[in-house]
């Protein structure tokens, strides 16, 4: 790990003491530089070593663009007609992001100091209490921080179009999201990697604050590029009567680590987290989910599914944590996996930690192959074996897609699932 420590020192040296966030970067650097920090990471050591090798294979550098971004033709989900698209190129907000009614996107460095402190206080509280390597790396190396504010009582569909080009080796986006009260908001985070030989390492961090009565549906899509190496971390804090749902769809990723922490701080709040991964060849997807109930009368659901072919590797680590204040809480967790190859592997770690006595909680995980009886039934109806298998796989994956309420996004994901299944 000495190579990583040396790389950290070189990366930190690229930031000047005049940087507005230099003190925070220094704090993160000192924490990362502790001898036992990396050794104490909870991840599997071999996986961690592989990620660090990818991260440090090229020197850290980032040149803030001085010119407007050239137009880039991107793939992936197209925004719905009534929606708003905000574009980020290598983690930096594009000048093409115009002002939209009820939506405001600003650089954190441009905020007045009092407002900047107000935004950073809950974020720093979470970061300082975290021992996650990639949260610390994002705090240290984030090239730019943005604040996205959605006004109260605004029904909005927002597409965050992330474009990653070959001009940088490391992309460290950082986004704070504040959603006003009683706002039914849908956010679609779409990643598009411009094809080239050497892929950058992407380490994204999103911090969400939901006011009382807010409803946010957040979707993270990885559908275009099978050679993307990415860590994506999302923290969400919920107040009373708020609803948060998150969907992760991974139909192509050389390596993806998705970490979600939902903190339910208000009563009668609900968090629903879903994921669908369809992997082939040597693709790897790791889902790390944590839901913390700190208030009574709350509800959480987790349902993650994977279809693994080739030599792909999937893993799910889900934790439900209930404090003593979380009475009359319901919390459920399910992880289902289909293995299409003897060389594919999946690791599941469902967890419950409960300190309240008046609750209903459950967790479970299943892994297996296609149901032979169902397959035989379809074959006896004249359906050829390849088509019969695909129909069963579609039905398996569609359960997660059907939980989305936006029909245009549903249709797109159905098409992406079918296109991926054809390649398995």
Tell me the C-alpha to C-alpha distance, in Å, between residue 148 and each of 101, 141, 151, 178, 263.
13, 20, 10, 6, 19
Nearest to 274 by CA among 413, 133, 412: 413
CA 14 – CA 132 distance, rounded (Å): 23
Instruction: Note the pLDDT of residue 76.
Output: 73
pLDDT digits (tens, 9 = 90+) for 323-350: 999 999 999 999 999 999 999 999 999 9
In a domain, residue 389? The reply is no
Tell me the C-alpha to C-alpha distance, in Å, between residue 7 and each of 60, 124, 134, 373, 395.
8, 24, 15, 54, 46
pLDDT, average across residues 317-326? 96
Instruction: Note the pLDDT of residue 49.
Output: 80
Instruction: Note the pLDDT of residue 181.
Output: 78
CA 338 – CA 421 distance, rounded (Å): 12
In this structure, how many other beta carbons lie within 10 angstroms of the beta carbon of residue 330? 15
Nearest to 271 by CA among 279, 281, 261, 286: 261
Tell me the C-alpha to C-alpha distance, in Å, between residue 284 and each of 112, 155, 195, 219, 252.
42, 36, 19, 20, 9
Q: Checking DSSP bridges between strand 92-93 and strand 84-89, what pairing results, if any?
A: antiparallel
In a domain, residue 159? The reply is yes
Tell me the C-alpha to C-alpha distance, in Å, between residue 356 and each of 201, 270, 302, 422.
41, 18, 20, 47
CA 59 – CA 201 distance, rounded (Å): 11
CA 28 – CA 15 distance, rounded (Å): 13
Which has the minimum average pLDDT: 43-47, 65-69, 101-105, 281-285? 65-69
In a domain, residue 406? The reply is no
**In terms of residue numbers, what domain contains 144?**
2-370
With a pLDDT cut of 90, the percent of the chain lying above it is 68
Tell me the C-alpha to C-alpha distance, in Å, between residue 179 and each of 79, 100, 299, 322, 331.
20, 15, 20, 25, 24
Beta carbons of 186 and 406 less than 8 angstroms apart: yes
Q: Is the pLDDT of residue 71 over 60?
A: no
pLDDT digits (tens, 9 = 90+) for 361-384: 999 999 999 999 999 999 999 999
Read off the pTM: 0.94
Adjacent-strand bridge partners of 287: 258, 316
Beta carbons of 219 and 409 less than 8 angstroms apart: yes
In a domain, residue 382? The reply is no
Q: Is the pLDDT of residue 62 over 80?
A: no
Q: Is the pLDDT of residue 102 over 90?
A: no
Q: Is the pLDDT of residue 132 over 80?
A: yes
| Rg, C-alpha atoms of the chain | 21
Residue pointed to by tokens 């407002």: 115
Helix (H, G, I), strand (E, B) or coil at 234: strand
76: phi > 0 → left, psi -120 to 50 → alpha, else beta; which?
Answer: left
CA 206 – CA 183 distance, rounded (Å): 19
Tell me the C-alpha to C-alpha distance, in Å, between residue 2 and each of 9, 14, 37, 195.
11, 19, 13, 31
Q: Is the pLDDT of residue 401 over 60?
A: yes
Q: Is the pLDDT of residue 318 over 80?
A: yes
Which has the minimum average pLDDT: 55-59, 134-138, 189-193, 233-237? 55-59
pLDDT digits (tens, 9 = 90+) for 26-52: 999 999 988 788 878 866 656 778 888
Tell me the C-alpha to C-alpha distance, in Å, between residue 256 and each of 1, 47, 98, 232.
21, 11, 31, 8
Instruction: Note the pLDDT of residue 37.
Output: 86
Where residue 360 falls among pLDDT bands split at 50, 70, 90?
very high
CA 175 – CA 160 distance, rounded (Å): 11
Give the chain's domain count.
Answer: 1
Instruction: Note the pLDDT of residue 277.
Output: 96
Helix (H, G, I), strand (E, B) or coil at 95: coil
CA 29 – CA 15 distance, rounded (Å): 12
| Position with higher pLDDT, 223 vs 132 | 132
């Amino acid at each position: 790990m000495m190579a990583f420590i040396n790389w950290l020192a070189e990366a930190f040296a690229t930031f000047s003491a005049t940087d507005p966030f230099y003190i925070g970067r220094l704090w993160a650097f000192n924490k990362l530089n502790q001898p036992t920090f990396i050794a104490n990471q909870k991840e599997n050591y071999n996986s961690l070593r592989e990620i660090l090798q990818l991260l440090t294979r090229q020197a850290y550098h980032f040149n803030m663009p001085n010119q407007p971004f050239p137009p880039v033709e991107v793939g992936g989900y197209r925004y719905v007609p009534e929606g708003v698209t905000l574009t980020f190129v290598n983690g930096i907000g594009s000048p093409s992001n115009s002002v939209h009614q009820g939506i405001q996107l600003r650089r954190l460095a441009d905020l007045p100091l009092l407002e900047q402190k107000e935004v950073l206080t809950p974020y720093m509280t979470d970061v300082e209490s975290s021992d996650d390597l990639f949260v610390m790396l994002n705090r240290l190396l984030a090239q730019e921080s943005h604040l996205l504010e959605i006004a109260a009582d605004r029904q909005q569909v927002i597409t965050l179009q992330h474009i990653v080009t070959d001009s940088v080796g490391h992309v460290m986006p950082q986004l704070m999201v504040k959603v006003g009260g009683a706002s039914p908001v849908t956010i679609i985070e779409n990643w598009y990697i411009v094809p080239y030989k050497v892929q950058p390492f992407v380490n994204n961090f999103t911090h969400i604050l939901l006011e009382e009565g807010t409803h946010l549906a957040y979707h993270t899509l990885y559908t275009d590029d099978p050679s993307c190496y990415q860590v994506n971390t999302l923290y969400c804090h919920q107040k009373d009567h708020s609803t948060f749902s998150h969907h992760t769809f991974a139909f192509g990723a050389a390596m993806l680590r998705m970490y979600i922490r939902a903190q339910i701080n208000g009563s009668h709040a609900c968090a629903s987290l879903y994921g669908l991964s369809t992997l082939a060849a040597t693709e790897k997807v790791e889902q790390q989910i944590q839901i913390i109930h700190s208030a009574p009368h709350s509800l959480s659901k987790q349902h993650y599914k994977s279809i693994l072919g080739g030599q792909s590797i999937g893993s799910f680590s889900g934790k439900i944590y209930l404090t003593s204040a979380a009475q009359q809480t319901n919390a459920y967790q399910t992880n289902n996996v289909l293995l299409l190859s003897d060389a594919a592997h999946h690791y599941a770690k469902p967890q419950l930690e409960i300190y309240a006595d008046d609750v209903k909680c459950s967790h479970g995980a299943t892994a297996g192959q296609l149901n032979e009886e169902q397959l035989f039934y379809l074959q006896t109806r004249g359906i050829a074996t390849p088509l019969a298998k695909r129909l069963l796989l579609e039905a398996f994956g569609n359960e997660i897609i059907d939980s989305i309420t936006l029909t245009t996004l549903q249709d797109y994901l159905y098409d992406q699932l079918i296109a991926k299944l054809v390649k398995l």
